[in-house]
A and B are shown apart, each in its own frame.
Chain A
Amino acid sequence: MNPDLLRGNLDLILLTLLEQQPLYGFAIIQAARDRTGGYFDFKEGSLYPALHRLEAEGLLAAQHGETGRNGKPRKYYAITDRGRETLNTKRQEFAAFTGAVQQLGRNGA
């Protein structure tokens, strides 16, 4: 897929992935791949800054989970109430945008 699309909608995608359950970084990448048949393939190096940013903005909250491969607790990211509100807003924006693009196509046809 076009990486610009992924970058431009990264927050929406991450919040959607975490909407159902908290996940840690590696599991987020796997979930993104599995749930989209490989369509979303994150660059790992850009994932962590994005997660930290969403956490800093109060949209995600960190919680410690089971011990990871490095002997330390895994850092799980859970969506906050504010994160859910933002997710709803972003979904509406995205739907309005794609609807408008489709309308353009129909009108132009």
Chain B
Amino acid sequence: MTTATHTTPRALTAYLRRATWGLPEARRQELWDELEEHVLTRADHLTLTGLTPTQATAQAIRELGPPAHVTLGMAKVYIMPNFILAAGTLALALSAGLYALAGSGATSTTLTVVRQAPVKPSCVRGTKPSGDNITIVSEKGGVTCYTFNDHEVNKGVFLKGTDVTRALETQGVTLSRNGRSLALGGTSVNARFTRDGVAFFDASSVVDLLTRTRSVRFSGYTSPRMQVGDATLLLNAGPEDIGAAFYNSSNSVFLSALIGQPVWGSYFVGTKTGPEHLISTRLQKGEAVMLVTSRGGTNFMVDAGKVDAQGRLSVHSQDRQLRFVSSIDQLGPYLSGGRRSALLVRITNVPLSDLKSGVFVPAQATSDAR
């Protein structure tokens, strides 16, 4: 196979070889040139969003989809109809096998999630703290140590630092020598706690670190996935649904992406105790959607919920009556006709860099809590 005089990235050459496998030579060259041109043009566009050329090429290749799909599609066009099934299936299997053997450059890693941080006592010298919400665990030499009774404060979505660096090494994420901080592009985040000498990080701080410099896309609710460049991270907490905990903990990241500048004053309905709204949508099961209402300025009330098999979204709000709007500019702290303006944003399967494209108004533009 001939190539142009420019330098073709190795990952692209591997992809093109698989995608064009089994075609008649003339057609193969033609398709090769088309796909190559497509990826290089798309990669040029992606570099404008801040990706490095390598990352941009990987992203453009990923957008093309598995090369085996192209192979099979082309086999149906150019191989005799009687041979379509056999040749197409063979080409599919061989292409997939060869691609897997050669390594596509894309990686997928499952990260085990820890949901509970260890309960560690806080200690004060002098004044002895009191209250129903704490338990004194030690008193010695004027120093009183206590723990909070509400174990919810220790719940979260925590990731092992070594797992994160293993999954994202190719994206430039590094772990400090003492293992207590993760760094990327001059920014670092610190571990929330250590257990048996292993550092654990809040998933939200990892998300924050990544989204500052990398193109990130989320998918899945019960077990969320993060796609960072050509690396995919699957957060696995077993059968437990961690969608609400994960997506709500990163609400400031989503709000900042939506508004186009950092938002620090946000908070969320994390306990899911506010009135529940069931909203009919046209979305697929398992999509995550963020409900946003404004409390004035940069204070927002946010809750992330999931879409069920019937397309119904379940989210919580402090307001019983909502009216959905199509832009964040239309949100405000005042009620209109007894209803609070609210924004719905699909946050999965939408690039974080283009989160506005996830905004939608359901067919029923108002909602009354159950």
Contacts and interface: CB of A to CB of B under 8 A. Distances in A.
Contacts of A74: 37
Given A69-B44, A70-B4, A38 B74 contact: no
Given A25-B34, A75-B34, A68 B41 contact: yes
Contacts of B34: 24-25, 48, 75
Nearest to B69: A45
Interface in A39-61: 43-46, 48-50, 52-53, 56
Interface residues of A, number: 21
B38 A49 contact: no
A8 interface: no
A105 interface: no
Using C-beta atoms within 8 Å of the partner chain, give the interface range for chain B.
Answer: 20 to 34
Interface in B4-60: 4-6, 8, 19, 27, 30-31, 33-38, 40-42, 44
A106 interface: no
Given A45-B70, A71-B4, A26 B37 contact: yes
A11 B37 CA distance: 23
A5 to B, nearest CB: 12
B73 interface: yes
B70 A53 contact: no
Main SS at interface, chain B: helix
Given A26-B37, A45-B65, A70 B6 contact: yes
A52 B66 contact: no
Contacts of A48: 31, 34-35, 38, 70, 73-74
A99 B31 CA distance: 39
A50 B63 CA distance: 17
A35 interface: no
A25 to B, nearest CB: 5
Contacts of B5: 71
A95 to B, nearest CB: 23
Given A24-B37, A48-B74, A49-B72, 15 more contacts: A24-B34, A25-B38, A26-B38, A43-B65, A44-B64, A45-B64, A45-B65, A49-B73, A53-B76, A56-B77, A68-B40, A68-B41, A71-B5, A72-B33, A75-B33
3 nearest A-B pairs in the assembled complex, by CB-CB distance:
A49-B73, A45-B65, A71-B4
Interface of A: 24-26, 38, 43-46, 48-50, 52-53, 56, 68-72, 74-75
29 contacts: A25-B37, A25-B38, A26-B37, A26-B38, A38-B357, A44-B38, A44-B64, A44-B65, A45-B19, A45-B66, A48-B70, A48-B74, A49-B73, A49-B76, A49-B77, A53-B73, A53-B76, A68-B33, A69-B37, A69-B40, A70-B6, A70-B33, A70-B37, A71-B4, A71-B5, A71-B6, A72-B4, A74-B37, A75-B33
